[in-house]
Amino acid sequence: MADPVLYEKDGRIGRIILNRPERMNAIDDDLPAALEDAVKRADTDRGVHVMILSGAGKAFCAGYDMAEYAADPDNPFTQDMPWDPLQDYQFMWANTQHFMSIWRAMKPVICKVHGYAVAGGSDIALCADLTYMADDAQIGYMPARVWGCPTTAMWVYRLGPEKAKRMMLTGDKVSGKEAEEMGLILKSVPAEKLDDEVEAMAARMASVPINQLAMQKMVINQAIEATGLMNTQRLATLFDGITRHSPEGINFKHRSEKVGWKQAVKERDKGTYDWTRDEEI
């Protein structure tokens, strides 16, 4: 079995690559911890100044692997009722902290998004210090419609309350161009220029001493953390578990088992199903 995350050192750059291309780098049980291991490896290497986080294949990350977590009746993502909130919290909080290793790293992390960074994949991408997207790439948190709450809560810290609500109260996806316009990411470029743009920024940062990079990142991160970032994430992680065990969440799970994950998602995203009444609109 291939490693879910690859790590390569390239001069002063540490390259971290999500490596489940056959599943569009969807998150399974092994990927979050492997991601943190790669981040720590780069962060402790005195020769590495900056990290580039990317995905192999056709997308950055398509979120959690719902073929495993939603369609399968026996999975840790949805418990039988009555459910244990703390068991659920322990599982999701561990993953949130694995993703946040990107934020906590002493050295800057540039995320390069092509294809999709959706659902849990957006959680990962938005933990980075700088995020670049291809113009035609898509980012969003569609489970905000039913069956999810983004546990890293980075949407509000990047967008502010009103634009974050615009995204979370619809579950819409936006293109790289739209994401740049609303201030969600640093920059969007044509797909054929994405690699060059990211490499140029990484090279520019790599010319700065590690201690300077670390101090600037720590100061800026502290300004965000002082607003209560961890408290917000704890609440979001608790809510994420509730969304999957609410009446609507249970109905969504049953629907995905009945008609398949892809059909249930299509109904969710188009708004053609009433999850409260468990029937088509």
CATH at residue 227: 3.90.226.10
Q: What is the pLDDT of residue 14?
A: 98
E strand spans, 40-177: 50-55, 109-113, 116-118, 130-134, 138-140, 173-175
pTM: 0.95
Please report whether residue 275 resides in a domain.
no
**In angstroms, rounded to a whole number, what is the distance separating the alpha carbons of residues 5 and 48?**
18
177 neighbors 139 (Cβ within 8 angstroms):
no
Q: What is the pLDDT of residue 117?
A: 98
Burial string for 124-144 (b: 16+ CB within 10 Å, else e) reads bbbbbbbbbbbbebbbbbbbb
Please report whether residue 278 resides in a domain.
no
Displacement of CA 213 from its chain's centroid (Å): 24
The residues of the chain scoring below 70 in pLDDT are 70-76
Return the bridge partners of 61, or none. 117
Q: Are strands 5-10 and 13-18 parallel, antiparallel or unpaired?
A: antiparallel
Query: Between the CA of residue 130 and those of 57, 112, 202, 205, what are the distances in Å?
Result: 21, 9, 10, 11
Domain residues for the domain of 123 are 5-245
The total number of structural domains in the chain stands at 1
Please report whether residue 274 resides in a domain.
no
User: Which residue type does 274 have?
Assistant: D
Displacement of CA 25 from its chain's centroid (Å): 11
Please report whether residue 259 resides in a domain.
no
Q: What is the pLDDT of residue 99?
A: 98
**In angstroms, rounded to a whole number, what is the distance separating the alpha carbons of residues 57 and 43?**
25
Please report whether residue 264 resides in a domain.
no
Please report whether residue 82 resides in a domain.
yes
Q: What is the pLDDT of residue 67?
A: 75
